[in-house]
Amino acid sequence: MGRAAYIRRRLILMAFVLFGVTVVIFGMVRILPGDPAFLILGDRATDQKAAELRQQLGLNRPFLEQYWMFVSAGFAHGDMGQSLLYRQPVGDLVLTRVPITLALAGYAMGLAAIITLTFGITAAVNKGRWPDQLIRVGFLFALTTPNFWFGILLILLFGLTLHWFPVAGFGETFPQHVWYLFLPALTLALQLSAVLIRNLRGQIIQTLRSDYVRTAHAKGLSERLVLLRHVLRNALLSTVTIFGLQFGFLVGGAIVIETVFALPGTGQLLIQSITARDYPVVQAITVVSAVLVIVVNLVVDLSYSFLDPRVTYE
């Protein structure tokens, strides 16, 4: 089967996954106790006013009918409904924020790639010696520290003490965005790298022992060339798989990090919306995130054949 057919099949599968996501998320937000009507109307609302609002928002209709409205409007017209709390179209609220979360996740992945390659290779070639130990202990610390606390530590060091980066916010121009997003992206990247470095280090060490590496050395190739062309390329395959899977982790981590660094992304909106029982917004963010994760995983799967020409898609 060629690559095109493979992509086609994956896209069809994606539709099924999305259907599952909508069912699960629709069910879950409605199982949550708590009535959005009282949250919107405040403490003072009479029961009658609350009932009127539920009627107006369609919250008193049967679940199946509500689900059908959500799915049909969403897929047929791209209309994700109105936010219960903000009385604005959900599309406007969510879609302006998606690029911020995506930029943060992408930035974090970029930084993570740099960090992983640098420290993964360093650790592997220095196996057992102090640089290896230092890297392993250091990143274990990054992995086990809660990221909101880690973020605050970075703010204290780079924002308040050294003044290299702003404390929080998003900035207004593109260079400012790059500058403002650095610390939050680094916070995510360090945690992500911790997992990746361990994996890459192990893979490199394993590959170094293989016969073809010995052959390459015997041929008289330089250490550098052996490492980069023969070892790394083979070692990277499983690291890239993990890297792709971690995109979901990044979108999740972004929720907390966006709050700490005051970034107006989807994570911040999601937290508010869950607290407010703003069903349409929660549904929209979840579906959009699911699509992103699925697409990124597809891209990762496709990237295998670039890394390893032996990989075919069937």
Partner 1 sequence: MFLEKARWPLIAAAIAGLLLSACAPTSTGTGSPTPGTSASASASPVSKVLRMARNAEPFSPFVPWQIDDNPALFISVNVYDTLLRTTKDGTSVEAGLATKWESSADGLTWTFTLKDGVKFSDGSAMKASDVKASLDMARAGEKSAWKDVYVAIKEVSAPDDKTVKIALKQPYAPLLSVLAMFSSAVLPEAMAKATDTKDYDNTLAWKTKGTGAYYSEGWKKGDPIILKRNTNYWRGTPALDEVRIEYIPDDNTRVLKLQGGETDVVDFVPFSQIAALNTQPNVKAQTFTIQQTAFVGFNTSKPPLNDVKVRQALNYATDKEAIIKNVYFGQAKVMNSPIPQGTYWDKNLVGYPYDLEKAKALMASSSGAAGFKMDMQVRSGNTNMANTAVILKDAWAKLGVTVDIQTLDTAVVRTNYRAGDYMSTTQAWTNDMNDPTEIVNYAMRGGASPFAYWTRYNNPDLNDKITKADLEQDATKRAALYAEIQKIYSDAAPIAPIAYLGATAGWRSNVDGFFIDGLSYYRFEDVKFNK
Q: Which residues here bind partner 1, judged by CB under 8 A?
A: 32-36, 38-39, 41-48, 85-88, 93, 96-97, 110, 114, 152, 155-156, 159-160, 163-169, 171, 173, 175-176, 178-179, 182, 225, 228-229, 232-233, 259-262, 264, 268-269, 274-277, 306
Smallest distance from partner 1 to CB 197, Å: 16
| Least gap, CB of 221 to partner 1 (angstroms) | 11
CB of 282 to partner 1, least distance (A): 12
Nearer to partner 1, 75 or 179 (CB): 179
| CA 28 to each of CA 55, 61, 233: distance values in angstroms, whole numbers, following the listed order | 21, 17, 43
Which of 130/306 has CB closer to partner 1? 306
CB of 298: closest distance to partner 1 in angstroms? 19
Q: How far is the CB of 229 from partner 1 (least distance, A)?
A: 6
Nearer to partner 1, 83 or 294 (CB): 83
Name the residue nearer to partner 1 (CB basis): 3 or 233: 233
H or E element: which one contains 271? Answer: helix 266-275
How near is the Cβ of 39 to partner 1 at its closest, in Å?
5
* CA-based end-to-end distance of the chain: 6
Which residue blocks in 209-232 are alpha helix, DSSP H? 211-218, 223-225
At residue 210, φ and ψ (nearest 5 deg) are -75, 160
CA gap 248, 246 in Å, rounded: 5
Cβ closest to partner 1, residue 48 vs residue 77: 48
Q: Which is nearer to partner 1, 11 or 32 (CB)?
A: 32
CB burial readout 234-258, b (16+ within 10 A) else e: bbbeebbbbbbebbbbbbebbbbbb
Nearer Cβ to partner 1, position 66 or 303? Answer: 303
- DSSP-assigned beta bridge partners for residue 82: 89
CA atoms within 13 A on the CB side of 296: 22
| Cβ-Cβ contacts under 8 Å for 92 (sequence gap 6 or more) | none
**Alpha-carbon gap, residue 33 to 260, rounded angstroms:** 27
Q: How far is the CB of 25 from partner 1 (least distance, A)?
A: 17
d(CA 275, CA 303) in angstroms, rounded, equals 39
Task: Name the residue nearer to partner 1 (CB basis): 187 or 294.
Answer: 187
Contacts of residue 194, defined as CB under 8 A and 6 or more positions apart, other chains included, come to: 139, 140, 142, 143
Question: CA 20 to CA 28: how far, in whole Å?
Answer: 12
Whole-angstrom Cα distance, residue 286 to residue 178?
26
Q: Minimum distance between the CB of residue 189 and partner 1, rounded to whole angstroms?
A: 12
